[in-house]
Structure 1
């Protein structure tokens, strides 16, 4: 690894330990919320596209003891940390973190997916992703290259990113995306091409503000209508996590099972970890 300063941070109430760069891209609560939106059980195959240091996928493996994770990450340092995080949490046997650029299909020629099929021919049961939030030219580059690549689109724009995800999921499998609300129309447009039964889960920073994030889930080949689900208010009026948000971030239950609570507060631990804030 090229001299990155590393921290080890606790997720899911410190039940999961994650190595990540001290500066630059750092996983936070978006990864936990993404994992919590996957509503399934059993021995499923999961692909995390743009997995970073593996946080979302490893949170999912923690909840689903029979699942197997593949992660794709273009940045070699982050991919290496993802493999180290799998080992740190005794999840290496169910984890495959791959350094790969989805724009270069040649890198997948020697990679195998579920059932030992060639990666690009395999069908995953569920694909999760937290794509870069900003279009090229719409945001300033960060001082850290790692953070810039994680937050600003480079050679793969959002539409191409989502099309790659849909192509990797099997028929009747699901794609789950967390992204900025102001790009929701684009997300729905792309996913509705081959998917249906779309569900949108808004994430409000507090009871008074507009939703800044959304989780979108789609069923490949689904025919059901678009649904706007119960969302999640993340903080109360004092800036502390609401009780439903705290339950998810500390224990990782299904997000879809949680109803919005406008006034519930979490008081027993005021020193909520900064890397888990939204």
Structure 2
């Protein structure tokens, strides 16, 4: 990873260095950070933190968090450290495999775990190896969920963003150890199928599942290359750093 570019997040509040070619975080990372219900003083672990975009977006929105990230790829872990320092957001960044959690993390429990696991189960490798590892899973999705639940304190929240077609896998993996499962479908436009889902679940409770109305990203029915056309809600989250409330009787 030799050539980098700097991308603005949250309307330019954050500057994140990412590979010029290969995998780069974008709107999904911001949405994940916005959905985490962390409060000042809470501890948060991100599994597969990449260059740190989601973790740092969360740190920019909520002051006083104890942030930690785990990243498999050394170059991305180093980028995450660099980005945390450049944005003056304290974070512990660990290099390692979530299936063999580093000793420094095995002894800790967190109020929140967040993750944006690879979206694809297989297929041809990407030309860029880092992009391939970020998008095509080497560790099955249920193991991501198991690792996240292990690192949570009782009553802590696991928050994920994933492709909507993988919802059944997520629910199956959560069923034995978590409840208050809250599902937010994310659709590109009104009337379109949701391509993404945000799922939050609370460790150690049996509270019922909640399915929320879709969050719509774009206001116009068709894409225009000349304008961004975000909905007001999407603008608030992506550009202004607003929280994405999944609130309900069991949510914090």
* TM score, norm. by length of structure 1: 0.84
* Distance (Å, rounded) in 2 between the aligned partners of 1:40 and 1:21: 29
Shift of 1:140: 2.3
Name the residue aligned to 2:239.
Answer: 250
Query: 1:256, CA displacement in angstroms?
Result: 1.6
> Which whole-Å CA distance do the structure 1 matches of 2:161 and 2:98 have between them?
19
Any stretches of 5+ residues in structure 2 without a counterpart? 224-228, 248-252
- Which one of the candidate residues 73, 76, 84 is aligned to 1:75? 73
**Which residue does the alignment assign to 2:91?**
95
Pairing partner for 2:118 from 126, 132, 141:
132
Partner deviation per Cα, 1:58-109 (whole Å, 9 max, x = no partner):
0000011110110000000000000000011011xx201111112234xx23
Matches of 1:144 and 1:4 in 2, distance apart?
Answer: 12
Write out aligned runs for 1:16-95 (5 A): 16-91=14-89, 94-95=90-91
Instruction: Determine if the alignment matches structure 1 residue 208 to structure 2 residue 191.
Output: yes
- Aligned residue in 2 for 1:188: 171
- Looking at structure 2, the residues matched to 256 and 55 of structure 1 have their Cα atoms a distance apart, in angstroms, of 20
Relative to the length of structure 2, the TM-score reads 0.92
Q: Which residue of 2 aligns with 1:150?
A: 134
C-alpha distance in structure 2 between counterparts of 1:233 and 1:11, whole Å: 19
Q: Is 2:208 aligned against 1:225? A: yes
Task: Give the counterpart of 2:125 among 137, 141, 144.
Answer: 141
Tell me the residue number matched to 1:268.
none
Instruction: Please identify which structure carries the higher strand content.
Output: 2
Query: What CA distance in whole angstroms lies between the structure 2 residues aligned with 1:123 and 1:241?
Result: 37
User: 1:40: how far off?
Assistant: 3.1
3-state SS, counterpart of residue 189 of structure 2: coil
Q: Please give the residue correspondences for 1:170-189 in structure 2 after superposition, counting only pairs within 5 Å.
A: 170-189=153-172
Counterpart-to-counterpart distance in 2, 1:238 and 1:87: 40
Distance in 2, matches of 1:141 and 1:99, equals: 22
Over residues 127-175 of structure 1, what are the superposed CA-to-partner deviations in whole Å (9 max), with x where a residue is unaligned? 0000001113xx3211100100000011x11111111011111100000
Alpha-carbon distance in 1 for matches of 2:21, 2:165: 27
Contact 2:99 2:147 in 1 (8 A): no
State the match for 2:218 in structure 1.
235
Moved over 6 A (4+): none
TM-aligned CA deviation for residue 257 of structure 1? 6.5
SS in 1 for 2:245: helix
Count matched residues.
241
Q: Distance in 2 between matches of 1:79 and 1:223?
A: 36
Q: CA deviation at 1:253?
A: 1.2
Q: Structure 2: how far apart are the matches of 1:231 and 1:254?
A: 16
Mind listing any 5+ residue stretches in structure 1 that lack a counterpart? 112-118, 259-278
